[in-house]
């Protein structure tokens, strides 16, 4: 075949065939250039290889602002603070003149390409203000046969989610800006007073005028959270916060002050807890601008990858780690990096009563069976105790065990993505190759080839190319987009690939939840290897987060694919739920995807601009349908 073509080209023996062949090549090239379809067959094709983005060099290119009267009218003014002693009023609710150089155009409102007959309604009922479809499915929860393993705190998604828009809490305001928000948030935005009373002694949260204030207290942080963080590092100097330990999981995090203060040490923490009697704890955390998610140690695996976290922390997190023969601990073992640590501060570590001692003995049995070693055990000046375990770095200890208990997982269990997967009763074998290597210290870790990628062919090249791609998109396009980046703190990347978008934002005061959709190549370990955080998710379902928790949601070539599995209107309803009013949706997609999305957003009274029919910025307004 090759020879035939060569001879045709060289000798031009057959001019008709040659011409036809050349024409075919031209048509195919044109076809490929005009479609930006994302294929999942190549595991690293997160975006089309041939994106052609025109970057203007002339400084006089005037941006077209979303300033039509029509849009101004739709934007209900946010409620602003009115007393003088309040912090600077958030000014970002006004349309900001866009100083950028790119020609972003007001998009689609006169040219609706999709036949939309939307008649938006407000969701009915007071509880809808904080509605989370997969966590508030009361019918499914009532029908549960057992709640012993926290089944009622797990996800139970309804078959169909009502297509209505959530009402805003009364008096809702643009949120307090970071970094002030770590210490104080508007009470009206999250009007839940129970923890103020319930955890009064422990200083979790205090109500002061119109604010909820977070003094950095916690169940185990008797001398404040900073003291506690330093105490852990003093106990085990190898921890080296922010150099050696970068990615932490805080199980049962309360209001997430531990993760919030670790940020000062360049540590990024995924804080999680269920929706339970600790009212609105995760909602507080996110309103504070601290990375957090709703999750629970129950019957299912956590939605994180194998070997991801450098350190897992639990301070009196009420998880029965030794339950069911130790399954919850096997789960920690799965998501902990080889050589990673589990820091546990709870009464069985330092109290001698019978109940605590029973738990301690059970912990000794399970952790020994898993080949964990105790690397430190100590007490601090306030009397609380801490034990730090370390996961082994190789499987050799597993082989030396007298009893194969817990057993090593079989192949089929190893390759499962942890999405609605039951907790397992086996141990994932440790990686043998370079993937077992501890990443280089932060911040070099972000840009070095991730250990889990290094065995792939041409890994360095692919990784470099991806990093350069994102650095260019973020600097040249996203920073020039009609987005007031100074108001952005909580960011979600809906289709994160290697985490390149998050990496390109690293010098900004934002944090990114990197989502790897369950139908995309599994790159979540790479993301964690780089020192970033993320989770698996299926975007045809609702996310386990409270309404209004993200300031900016980014999506790169996700919608085209998603369209095949679920209705994009429902995905937009979910985006509207989790994005705060005045927040941004930033999308790169096919022209068709962008047009459809823009049309839907227009019906929601968002301001929509687009760039080169490839990028879209939608800004959510305060508009809600009349009740
Ligand atoms: C006593 S509070 C401790 C909070 C925080 N660690 C501190 O030290 O201030 C217990 C925490 O554990 C969480 N929790 C209870 N059961 C849990 C479970 N099965 N999985 C994850 N978190 C759980 C609660 O929601 C709450 O956040």
Indicate the angle between helix axes 2-11 and 15-34, nearest 10 degrees.
110
Stretch (H or E) spanning 213: strand 211-213
Q: How confident is the model at residue 26 (pLDDT cuts 50, 70, 90)?
A: very low
Buried/exposed 95-123: b ≥16 CB within 10 Å, e otherwise: beebebbbebbbbbbeeeeeeeeeebeeb
pLDDT of residue 108: 60
The larger pLDDT score, comparing residue 126 to residue 539, is at 539
Q: In the prediction, which pLDDT does 176 show?
A: 97
What is the Å distance from ligand 1's center to 253 Cα? 6
Contacts of 243 (CB under 8 A, 6+ apart): 266, 441, 442
Tell me the CA–centroid distance for residue 318 and ligand 1, in Å. 5
106: three-class secondary structure by DSSP: strand
The rounded Å distance from CA 491 to ligand 1 centre is 25
Least confident of 155-159, 382-386, 613-617: 382-386
Q: What is the mean pLDDT of residues 164-175?
A: 96
Residue of 198, 214, 232, 252 to mutate, ligand 1, most atoms within 8 A of C-beta: 252
CA distance 489 to 537: 21
Which atom of ligand 1 lies at the shortest distance from residue 278's CA?
Answer: 25
User: Do 387 and 376 touch, CB atoms closer than 8 A?
Assistant: yes
Other C-beta atoms within 10 Å of 602: how many? 23
Report CA(556)–ligand 1 centroid distance (Å): 35
Look at residues 216, 207, 179, 169 and name the one whose alpha carbon lies nearest to residue 87.
179
Question: Which of the two residues, 115 and 40, has the higher pLDDT score?
Answer: 115
pLDDT exceeds cutoff 90 at 362: yes
The answer, yes or no, to whether residue 503 has pLDDT greater than 50, is yes
11's enclosing H/E stretch is helix 2-11
Q: Which of 218, 228, 233 is nearest to 311 (CA)?
A: 233
- Tell me, what's the pLDDT at 252? 98
Which of the given ranges, 43-52, 76-85, 94-103, 492-501, has the highest pLDDT on average? Answer: 492-501
Please, which pLDDT band fits residue 11 given cuts at 50, 70 and 90?
Answer: very low
Q: Which protein residue has the closest C-alpha to ligand 1 atom 24? A: 252
Q: What is the per-residue pLDDT for 523?
A: 95
Q: Check if the beta carbon of residue 566 is closer than 8 Å to that of residue 161.
A: no
* pLDDT level of residue 59 (50, 70, 90 thresholds): very low
Which residues on adjacent β-strands are paired with residue 75?
Answer: none
**Is the model's pLDDT at 490 over the cut of 70?**
yes
**pLDDT score for 383:** 87
Terminal-residue alpha carbon distance, the chain: 69
Distance of CA 274 from the midpoint of ligand 1 (Å): 8
**Residues flanking ligand 1, CB < 6 Å:** 150, 218-220, 251-254, 273-274, 276, 278, 281, 296-297, 315-319
Nearest-atom index, ligand 1, CA of 277 = 25
Residue whose CA is at the smallest distance from ligand 1 atom 23: 252
As a whole number, mean pLDDT of residues 66-87 equals: 33
The C-alpha torsion from 123 through 603 and 577 to 179, rounded to 10°, is: -130
Mean pLDDT of the chain: 85
Q: What is the pLDDT of residue 350?
A: 93
Residue 281 pLDDT: 96
Which backbone phi and psi does 20 adopt, to 5 degrees? -60, -40
Q: Alpha-carbon distance 446 to 442, whole Å?
A: 7
Query: Which residue's CA lies nearest to atom 13 of ligand 1?
Result: 252
Q: Of 245-249, 300-304, 408-412, 418-422, which range is least confident?
A: 408-412
pLDDT tens digits along 517-568: 999 999 999 999 999 999 999 999 999 999 999 999 999 999 988 989 999 9
Residue nearest to ligand 1 atom 4, measured at CA: 254
* 233, pLDDT greater than 50: yes
For a ligand 1 pocket test, name from 201, 255, 257, 274 the mutation site with the most ligand atoms within 8 angstroms of its C-beta. Answer: 274
**Ligand 1 pocket test target in 276, 318, 332 with most atoms within 8 Å of CB:** 318
Stretch 360-388: mean pLDDT, rounded? Answer: 95
Domains along the chain? 2-34 (no CATH), 94-168+447-619 (3.40.50.150), 220-432 (3.40.50.150)
Give the whole-angstrom CA distance, residue 275 versus residue 282.
8
Q: How many CB atoms lie within 10 A of CB 154?
A: 20
Ligand 1 pocket: which of 221, 258, 273 to mutate (most atoms <8 Å of CB)? 273
What are the Cα distances from residue 35, in Å, to 23, 25, 46, 557, 615? 19, 16, 15, 12, 15
Report the atom number in ligand 1 closest to the C-alpha of 202.
Answer: 9
Give the pLDDT confidence score for residue 434 in this predicted structure. 81
- Decide if 78 contacts 581 (C-beta within 8 A): yes
Q: pLDDT digit string (tens) for 402-433?
A: 999 999 998 777 777 899 999 999 999 998 88
Cα 366 to ligand 1 centre (Å)? 21
Radius of gyration of the chain (CA): 26
- Tell me the HSE value of 252 on the side-chain side, using a 13 A CA sphere: 19
- On the question of pLDDT at 97 being above 50, the answer is no
Burial class of residue 539 in the structure, from the number of CB atoms within 10 Å of its CB (0-12 exposed, 13-18 middle, 19+ buried): buried
Separation of CA 273 and ligand 1 centre (Å): 6
pLDDT band at 38 (very low <50, low <70, confident <90, very high): very low
Main-chain dihedrals φ then ψ at residue 491, nearest 5 degrees: -120, 140
pLDDT tens figures, 574-598: 999 999 999 999 999 999 999 999 9
Q: pLDDT tens for residues 259-272?
A: 999 999 999 999 99
Buried b (16+ CB within 10 A) or exposed e, 610-623: bbbbbbbbbbbbbb
CA distance 265 to 286: 19
Of 346 and 86, the one with more pLDDT? 346
CB within 8 Å of 467: residues ≥ 6 apart: 447, 498, 500, 503, 504
The pLDDT value given to residue 197: 83
Confidence band (pLDDT; 50, 70, 90) for 199?
confident
Mind listing the pLDDT tens digit for each residue in 603-620? 999 999 999 989 999 999
Atom of ligand 1 nearest to the CA of 273: 22
């Amino acid at each position: 075949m090759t020879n035939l073509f060569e001879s045709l080209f060289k000798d031009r023996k057959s001019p008709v065939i040659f011409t036809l062949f050349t024409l075919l090549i031209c048509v195919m090239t044109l076809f490929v250039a005009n479609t930006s379809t994302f294929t999942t067959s190549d595991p690293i094709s997160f975006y089309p290889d041939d994106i052609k983005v025109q970057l203007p060099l002339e400084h006089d290119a005037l941006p077209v602002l979303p300033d039509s009267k029509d849009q101004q009218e739709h934007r209900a003014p946010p409620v602003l603070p009115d007393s003088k002693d309040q912090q600077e009023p958030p000014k970002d609710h006004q349309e900001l003149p866009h100083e950028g150089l790119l020609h972003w155009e007001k998009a689609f409102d006169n040219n609706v390409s999709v036949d939309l007959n939307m008649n938006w309604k407000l969701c009915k009922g007071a509880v809808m203000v904080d509605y989370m479809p997969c966590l508030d499915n009361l019918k499914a929860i009532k029908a549960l046969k057992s709640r012993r393993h926290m089944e009622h705190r797990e996800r139970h998604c309804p078959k169909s989610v009502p297509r209505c828009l959530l009402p805003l809490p009364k008096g809702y305001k643009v949120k307090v800006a970071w970094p002030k928000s770590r210490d104080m948030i508007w009470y009206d935005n999250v009007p839940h007073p129970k923890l103020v009373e319930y955890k009064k002694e422990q200083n979790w949260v205090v109500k002061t005028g119109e604010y909820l204030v977070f003094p950095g207290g916690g169940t185990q942080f008797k001398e404040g959270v900073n003291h506690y963080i330093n105490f852990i590092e003093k106990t085990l100097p190898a921890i080296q916060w922010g150099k050696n330990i970068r990615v932490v999981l805080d199980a049962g995090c309360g209001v997430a002050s531990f993760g919030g203060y670790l940020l000062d040490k360049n540590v990024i923490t995924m804080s999680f807890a269920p929706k339970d009697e600790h009212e609105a704890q995760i909602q507080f955390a996110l309103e504070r601008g601290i990375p957090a998610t709703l999750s629970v140690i129950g019957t299912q695996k956590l939605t994180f990858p194998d070997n991801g976290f450098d350190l897992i922390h639990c301070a009196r997190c009420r998880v029965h780690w030794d339950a069911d023969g130790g399954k919850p601990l096997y789960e920690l073992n799965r998501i902990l990096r080889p050589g990673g640590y589990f820091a546990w501060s709870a009464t069985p570590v330092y109290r001698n009563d019978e109940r605590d001692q029973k738990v301690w003995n059970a912990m000794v049995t399970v952790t020994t069976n898993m080949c964990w070693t105790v690397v430190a055990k100590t007490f601090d000046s306030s009397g609380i105790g801490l034990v730090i375990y370390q996961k082994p770095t190789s499987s050799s200890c597993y082989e030396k065990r007298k009893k194969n208990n817990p057993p090593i997982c079989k192949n089929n269990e190893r390759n499962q993505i942890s999405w609605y997967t039951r907790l397992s009763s086996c141990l994932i074998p440790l990686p043998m190759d370079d993937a077992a290597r501890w990443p280089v210290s932060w911040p070099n870790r972000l840009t070095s080839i991730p250990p889990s990628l290094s065995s792939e062919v041409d890994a360095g090249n692919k990784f470099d190319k991806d990093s350069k791609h994102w650095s260019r998109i973020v600097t040249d396009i996203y920073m020039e987009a009609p987005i007031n980046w100074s108001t952005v703190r909580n960011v979600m990347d809906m289709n994160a690939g290697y985490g390149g978008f998050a990496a390109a934002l690293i010098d900004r005061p934002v944090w990114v939840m990197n989502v790897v959709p369950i139908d995309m190549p599994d790159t979540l370990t790479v993301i964690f290897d780089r020192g970033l955080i993320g989770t698996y998710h299926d975007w045809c379902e609702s996310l386990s987060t409270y309404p209004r928790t993200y300031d900016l949601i980014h999506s790169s070539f996700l919608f085209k694919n998603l369209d095949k599995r679920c209705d994009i209107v429902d995905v937009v309803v979910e985006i509207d739920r989790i994005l705060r009013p005045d927040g941004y949706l930033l999308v790169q997609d096919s022209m068709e995807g962008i047009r459809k999305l823009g049309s839907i957003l227009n019906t929601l009274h968002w301001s929509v601009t687009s760039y080169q029919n490839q990028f879209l910025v939608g800004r959510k307004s305060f508009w809600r349908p009349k009740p």
